[in-house]
């Protein structure tokens, strides 16, 4: 097998682009950017970042839109051996300050992202804009990262209070399942042929979006970027997309529209759905609508995609529709008990995974790193079991999280913010299945006295402290909290309070 460390990340991509210079890498409206032009941009950004003071190990934060330039400047930072940090849109000022306070040397923005709020959060960080100054020079892009250095830090949503930084080294990125085509499995090669027109949207800070963008770019495909917010499913017809990623709520919307309206989605060859729990009946509807193009995946930011479930699996073994599929060839997966011992087939336990491209840890968070990384394995903190064929069934979580629109939210921090109001005596946040968002958070409050808490003020407080996405879908006042046999809140009875309103 090819030793991927012979060409450190992202050298394989640079080489692939040189082999197909005239093939379009990106398409935005009528504008097409070839692979040669993208290489030119990467070289110019590398020279511009170096002139701005970037050197190996420098922290380069990128807060740009989904554009060819945003991609190119990110690759340029890695070409120079820097530590790339994505700053996604929609972060609270506190979260922006937290991320930009993590040893960042340069913040790259475009005209749309250079808001006063973001500039204020940058404080003493040097801010450079995509434009003539950053593009005036040129150097041939050659990857110079050192395997042990940090290549990327992907920050989580911040639902724990402060966003957690998931660290990936150059060694990990060089061995990544989608970024190293010399080591692609036959399945990966087969899947990559479906990415001739990959719908690229959302954010370049998304690890899952970028790993599938790699499949597109390495296989000679074109990333088609919608102008504005994509309107599903019509954007598929408009851009003739052959591959796209869908969160569970977006899949629900697409299925609902297609049930009543005619939209031409015949170009689709790959529809990956992931990010939230998906009910078996909705997945069955998806397979009926999309056929073998639909693929369910289970994964985590800390390592990427872990399992795949294909239509062919369900056709052969119908009961597997309740699973999330079988582990990828690159993934080692074990189910362990509370003592860390592997359990027999069919027994529920915590899911542990391992791959050469897993996270190295969490940025400046030794305690979380030690809690998650155990002897080279990653604790997912999800619970499940495998059947005799290796299909994985998720049964719960060992941590109190709620996945809303594919974003993890921890109940504890939301409860803490709600309980900080002097009119609130107790606050509990519980997740429940939701057709629109995969799961939804529901808050239950016990008043501290005779005066009822101001629910609108509480929603604003959560939005201010943790972000708009962390605001519970409902806030319900209850006289008392029912307890289960263990003395813990009875979540089933609490949730029933909503249905009786």
Task: State the pLDDT at residue 316.
Answer: 98
As a whole number of angstroms, the distance between CA 171 and CA 120 comes to: 34
Report the share of the chain in percent with pLDDT over 90. 70
Task: Find out whether 292 and 312 touch, Cβ atoms under 8 Å.
Answer: yes
Report domain 4-21+33-182's class.
Answer: alpha beta
pLDDT digits (tens, 9 = 90+) for 451-472: 899 999 999 999 998 888 889 9
Residues of the chain with CATH 3.30.300.30: 401-499
Beta bridge partners of 431: 441
Write down the pLDDT at residue 137: 96
Q: Is the distance from CB of 274 to CB of 298 less than 8 angstroms?
A: yes
Task: Copy the structure tokens of residue 413.
Answer: 């921090």
CA 423 vs CA 198, 414, 453, 476: distances in Å: 50, 16, 5, 14
Q: Output 329 or 427, whichever has higher pLDDT.
A: 329
pLDDT band at 355 (very low <50, low <70, confident <90, very high): very high
* Of residues 368, 461, 484, 479, the one with CA closest to residue 415: 461
Between 43 and 279, name the one with better pLDDT: 43
**Cβ partners under 8 Å of residue 169, min gap 6:** 147, 148, 149, 150, 151, 360
Calculate mean pLDDT across residues 62-86.
97
Q: Where in the chain is the domain with CATH 3.40.50.12780?
A: 4-21+33-182, 231-353+363-397
In this predicted structure, the answer to whether residue 170 has a pLDDT above a threshold of 90 is yes
Give the tokens for residue 364.
Answer: 């400046």
| pLDDT of res. 397 | 67
> How is residue 484 written in tokens?
């289960």
- Which sign, positive or negative, has the C-alpha torsion 464, 470, 476, 480? negative
From 167-171, 271-275, 299-303, 399-403, the region with the lowest mean pLDDT:
399-403
pTM over 0.85: no
Of the candidates 290, 251, 254, the one whose C-alpha atom is nearest the C-alpha of residue 405 is 251
CA distances from 335 to 18, 310, 375, 394, 397 (A): 44, 22, 15, 11, 13
CA angle 449, 453, 459 (to 5 degrees): 155
Q: Hey, what CATH class is 231-353+363-397 in?
A: alpha beta
Asked if residues 128 and 108 have their Cβ atoms less than 8 Å apart, the reply is yes
For the chain, the C-alpha Rg in angstroms (whole number) is 23
Rounded to whole angstroms, the Cα distance separating 184 from 412 reads 40
Half-sphere exposure of 431 (CA within 13 A, CB side): 24
Local confidence band at 484 (pLDDT 50, 70, 90 cut-offs):
low
H-helix segments, 166-266: 170-174, 186-192, 207-218, 234-239, 248-258
Contacts of 391 (CB under 8 A, 6+ apart): 309, 313, 317, 320, 323, 325, 326
The per-residue pLDDT for 449 is 78
The string of pLDDT tens digits covering residues 275-294 is 777 778 889 999 999 999 99
Distance CA 62, CA 73 (A): 8
- Report pLDDT for 2: 44
Q: What is the spatial distance between Cα 167 and Cα 445, in angstroms, rounded to a whole number?
A: 37
Angle at CA of residue 147, ends 146 and 150, nearest 5°: 80
pLDDT class of 392 with cuts at 50, 70, 90: very high
Q: For the chain, give the mean pLDDT.
A: 91
Beta strands in 74-221 (DSSP E): 83-86, 106-109, 126-129, 150-155, 165-169, 197-199
pLDDT value of position 500:
47
Q: Alpha-carbon torsion 365, 380, 250, 221, what sign?
A: positive
Range in 106-110, 205-209, 291-295, 436-440 with the lowest mean pLDDT:
436-440
Distance between CA 358 and CA 166 in Å, rounded?
10
CATH 3.40.50.300 fits domain 401-499: no
Tokens of 405: 């629109």
DSSP designation for 6:
G
Taking alpha carbons only, the member of 414, 394, 386, 417 closest to residue 402 is 414
The mean per-residue pLDDT over the stretch 142-168 comes to 88
């Amino acid at each position: 097998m090819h030793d991927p460390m012979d060409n450190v990340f992202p050298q394989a991509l640079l080489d692939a682009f040189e082999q197909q210079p005239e093939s379009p890498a990106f398409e935005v409206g009528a504008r097409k950017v070839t692979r040669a032009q993208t290489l030119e941009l990467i070289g110019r950004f590398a020279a511009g970042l170096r002139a701005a003071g970037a050197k190996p190990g420098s922290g380069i934060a990128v807060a740009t839109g989904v554009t060819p330039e945003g991609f190119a400047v990110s690759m340029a930072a890695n070409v120079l051996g820097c530590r790339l940090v994505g700053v996604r849109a929609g972060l609270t000022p506190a979260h922006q300050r937290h991320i930009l306070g993590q040893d960042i040397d340069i913040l790259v923005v475009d005209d749309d992202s250079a808001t006063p709020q973001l500039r204020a959060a940058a404080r003493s960080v040097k801010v450079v804009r995509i434009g003539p100054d950053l593009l005036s020079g040129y150097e041939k892009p050659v990857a110079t990262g050192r395997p042990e250095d940090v290549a990327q830090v992907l920050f989580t949503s911040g639902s724990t209070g402060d966003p957690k930084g998931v660290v990936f080294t150059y060694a990990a990125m060089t061995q990544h399942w989608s970024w190293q085509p010399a080591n692609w499995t036959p399945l990966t090669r087969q899947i990559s042929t479906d990415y001739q027109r990959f719908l690229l949207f959302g954010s370049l800070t998304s690890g899952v979006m970028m790993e599938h963008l790699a499949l597109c770019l390495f296989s000679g495909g074109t990333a088609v970027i919608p102008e504005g917010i994509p309107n599903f499913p019509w954007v598929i017809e408009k851009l003739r997309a052959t591959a796209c990623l869908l969160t569970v709520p977006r899949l629900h919307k697409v299925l609902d529209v297609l049930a009543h309206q005619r939209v031409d989605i015949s170009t689709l060859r790959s529809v990956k759905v992931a990010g939230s729990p998906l009910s078996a009946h909705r997945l069955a509807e998806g397979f009926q609508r999309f056929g073998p193009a639909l693929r369910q995946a289970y994964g985590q930011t800390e390592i990427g995609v872990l399992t795949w479930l294909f239509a062919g699996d369900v056709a052969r073994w119908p009961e597997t529709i309740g699973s999330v599929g079988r582990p990828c060839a690159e993934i080692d997966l074990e189910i362990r008990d509370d003592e860390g011992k592997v359990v027999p087939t069919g027994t529920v336990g915590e899911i542990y995974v391992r791959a050469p491209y897993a996270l190295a840890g969490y940025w400046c968070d030794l305690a979380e790193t030690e809690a998650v990384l155990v002897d080279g394995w990653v604790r997912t903190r999800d619970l499940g079991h495998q059947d005799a064929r290796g299909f994985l069934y998720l049964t719960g979580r060992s941590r109190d999280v709620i996945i809303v629109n594919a974003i993890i939210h921890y109940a504890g921090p939301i409860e803490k913010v709600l309980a900080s109001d002097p009119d609130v005596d107790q606050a509990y946040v519980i997740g429940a299945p939701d057709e629109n968002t995969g799961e939804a958070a529901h808050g239950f409050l016990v008043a501290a006295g005779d005066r009822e808490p101001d629910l609108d003020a509480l929603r604003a407080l959560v939005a201010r402290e943790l972000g708009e996405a962390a605001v519970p879908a409902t806030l319900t006042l209850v006289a008392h909290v029912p307890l289960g046999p263990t003395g813990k809140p009875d979540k089933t009875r609490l949730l029933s309070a909503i249905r009786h309103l």
